[in-house]
Amino acid sequence: MEKHELIIIGGGPAGLTAAIYAGRSRLDTLLIEKAAVGGRILMSEMIENYPGFPGGVSTLELMGRMENQVKELGVKIVSEEVLGLDPAALKVNTGAGVYAAEAIILASGARPRKLNVPGETQYTGRGVSYCATCDAPFFKGKTVVIVGGGDAMAEEALYLSRFAASVSLVHRRSELRASPILQERIRQDKKIHFILNSVVSRINGNIKVESVTLKDLLSGNERDFSCDGIFVYIGQEPETGYLKGKIDLDEAGFIRAGENMSTSAAGIFACGDCRKKGFYQVVNACGDGAVAADAAYKYVTGTVKNGVK
């Protein structure tokens, strides 16, 4: 069984920042990431609101810089999936074995929320997508639908418009939730059209997506809308299935954590998009990571007597 002072679960912005601060504190640190280091933010092409980068920064570049910084500090990174956690013994079980630590930081992030309508699962990868940056080139010159109302939807709609002939934005309310500057941009884009007060109730096709059924929430009427693909941006669900029954989660599965990122289990801290909070952005995920690493350092070195909120 491999032992470390600190284990960080998740290699997104929060986990990488925690690793940077832990490395600078000279904690023997292991970072476990099941997919690509950088996390799901890699599904976006650009980050426009990260401080210090006027005009934006490539997501791949920013995450790559963070990863290199972590490696320079001597933090070990392994590509494994966490299957279970023993909060009492501070042990982490992966498909490759068991790791023990003196403290653990949970930074496992979140995954895209699904519409949960007929046809969604059937046509995932055949016209249904949750990543415009990944799949937009496949829809060059085609008609697509994008569902959502926040910043992520607006950013991806603008990216899609660079490839698709037409982008129809479907939102359940009469107004979007995206920031004003992004709303200005999508309204100025002649390829982007609005279908408000509506939801997608079904995804239709044969071998691939051919149309979606739209329900008007004001009249209750439904109609089929022809399209070649649909992109879904309606929020996120936390990657916390491995924590059920282990630590305190809210009704949606997000981790409840205190001001210093401490959870209900001593020595375990949480940061980033898997933590219950009111605002989900790269910049405050990084802030979470820094606070969690500082709290973990104090816990490991005995500066505080416990890590319970």
Q: What is the pLDDT of residues 15-41, one digit of tens each?
A: 999 999 999 999 999 999 999 999 988
Burial of 19: CB neighbours in 10 Å, binned 0-12, 13-18, 19+:
buried
CATH topology of domain 114-232: FAD/NAD(P)-binding domain (3.50.50)
Q: What is the mean pLDDT of residues 241-260?
A: 95
CB atoms within 10 A of CB 209: 25
| Whether pLDDT at 305 is above 70 | no
Instruction: Please identify which of the residues 134, 224, 248, 250 carries the catalytic annotation.
Output: 134
| Whether pLDDT at 306 is above 60 | no
Q: If you average pLDDT over every residue of the chain, what do you get? A: 95
| Whether pLDDT at 278 is above 90 | no
Give domain limits for the chain.
2-111+236-301, 114-232
Q: What percent of the chain has pLDDT over 90?
A: 88
| Whether pLDDT at 308 is above 50 | no
Tell me the whole-structure pTM to 2 decimals.
Answer: 0.83
Question: Strands 128-129 and 222-226, how do they pair?
Answer: unpaired
pLDDT of residue 95: 87
Q: What is the mean pLDDT of residues 88-104?
A: 96
pLDDT of residue 186: 97
Residue 97 near residue 78 (C-beta atoms within 8 A): no
Residue 116, CA distances (Å) to 113, 120, 130, 203 in order:
9, 7, 13, 10
Tell me, yes or no, if 288 is annotated catalytic.
no
Q: What is the mean pLDDT of residues 252-267?
A: 96
pLDDT of residue 309: 37
211: which strand partners?
204, 226
Judge if 2-111+236-301 and 114-232 fold alike in CATH terms: yes
Residue 209 near residue 229 (C-beta atoms within 8 A): yes
Q: Which two tokens stand for residue 78?
A: 């392994």
- Radius of gyration in angstroms for the set of CA atoms belonging to the chain, rounded to a whole number: 21
Tell me, yes or no, if 131 is annotated catalytic.
yes
The full DSSP string for the chain is: -EEEEEEEE--SHHHHHHHHHHHHTT--EEEE-SS-TTGGGGGSSEESSSTT-TT-EEHHHHHHHHHHHHHHTT-EEE---EEEEETTTTEEEETTEEEEEEEEEE---EEEPP---TTTTTTBTTTEES-HHHHGGGGTT-EEEEE--SHHHHHHHHHHTTT-SEEEEE-SSSS--S-HHHHHHHHH-TTEEEE-SEEEEEEEESSSEEEEEEEETTT--EEEEE-SEEEE-S-EEES-GGGTTTS-B-TTSPBP--TTSB-SSTTEEE-GGGB--S---HHHHHHHHHHHHHHHHHHHHTSSS----
Instruction: Please identify which of the residues 28, 86, 131, 216 carries the catalytic annotation.
Output: 131
Cα–Cα distance measured from residue 181 to residue 48, given in angstroms and rounded to the nearest whole number: 11
Q: What percent of the chain has pLDDT over 70?
A: 98
Band (74; pLDDT cuts 50, 70, 90): very high
pLDDT of residue 4: 98
Q: What is the mean pLDDT of residues 238-248?
A: 95
Tell me, yes or no, if 134 is annotated catalytic.
yes
Q: What is the mean pLDDT of residues 163-190?
A: 97
pLDDT per residue as tens digits for the range 128-158: 999 888 899 999 999 999 999 999 999 999 9
**What φ, ψ does residue 222 adopt, rounded to 5°?**
-120, 150
| Whether pLDDT at 239 is above 80 | yes
Residues 6+ away with beta carbon under 8 Å from 70: 16, 19, 20, 23, 31, 77
CATH says 2-111+236-301 is which class? Answer: alpha beta
Band (307; pLDDT cuts 50, 70, 90): low
